[in-house]
Amino acid sequence: MNNSFLLLLALGFILISCQNTIFSDEILDDTHKQEQKDLISTYELVATENLSSKSSAKKQLKYKVIFTEELNQQKIKPTIENIITQITTQDNDVDEVILWFYSDKNMINEPFDIGSAVWAPYGELGHVDSKIAIHNIRDNYKIKYTVIENLDEYMQNKEDVKKIYNIGLEKRKKIFRDIIAAEDRVYGFQDIENQKVLNDALSKAEGLTAENREAMYRNQEKISLKAKELMSKYKSYLYLEYGINKELEEEIALEGINNNWSAN
């Protein structure tokens, strides 16, 4: 399988986690402030969901964030801090913030593709009590975030990623299931035919000799070629049915493996 979609080890994907304080007593000089400003990627808050409960004084909000310019590993921390500062400055009563990060607006109905962040006491949800909520106590507040490990490479190749997410999630899952069914069909055929050849060789009166072993190998090579032809045939049907190509098929297959869709 082509490894072009390994950058999605994420929609399988492998995450790293970093924990940082949101507030600092350090006063930055103008040069440092400008350096920090230059490291902030532009972004857009495209969706907000109020997750607050009527039975609790806690105010919890979730935001979906689209990055509108190239984001890289160096920019992620100051950009997240800037987003949290913007949100909490506009709404001093918010007690917990959840951020989901996306590289493209077309993906907002999907699980996040870049990563996520939480702003809360100790950087974890569930620690806000009524005293913290009512009096807006912000002691011990931190940001804890996770982003895909190969963020720089992912952002550089996100045009390829868009092609996948333009196909809906449920459709991608169906394509994945059909890919697995086609592969199982071919591998099943190959296993049965190889077993037949082996049984035939073992049934010879003289047993498994060098001569009939060689004949067995030749027959198994023919079976292997036939299996490849069948695989190409079955997947060609899938390409026509779903309007995809080999590259997208491989990327969807890897996404399904990473997300364990075969178990669903």
pLDDT tens for 118-127 read: 999 999 998 9
Distances (CA, A) of 86 to 43, 80, 83: 12, 10, 5
Q: Residue 164 pLDDT more than 70?
A: yes
CATH number of 4-161: 3.10.310
Integer Cα distance of 40 and 82 in angstroms: 7
Minimum mean pLDDT among 14-23, 36-45, 109-118: which range?
Answer: 14-23
pLDDT, tens only, 132-158: 999 999 999 999 998 877 788 777 776
Q: Where does 125-200 show beta strands of DSSP type E?
A: 141-148
Average pLDDT on 169-182 reads: 91
pTM for this predicted structure: 0.52
With beta carbons less than 8 A apart as the criterion, state whether 39 and 82 touch.
no
Does residue 170 sit in helix, strand or coil?
helix
Q: Residue 115 pLDDT more than 60?
A: yes
Name the more confident of 180 and 33. Answer: 180
Integer Cα distance of 235 and 230 in angstroms: 8
Q: Domains of the chain: which residue ranges?
A: 4-161, 167-263
Burial 220-243 (b: 16+ CB within 10 A, else e): eeebeeebeeebeebbeebeeebe
Q: Residue 27 pLDDT more than 60?
A: no
Q: What pLDDT is attached to residue 154?
A: 75
Rg of the chain in Å (alpha carbons) = 27
Integer Cα distance of 1 and 198 in angstroms: 28
Q: Residue 14 pLDDT more than 50?
A: no
Q: Residue 22 pLDDT more than 80?
A: no
Does residue 72 sit in helix, strand or coil?
coil
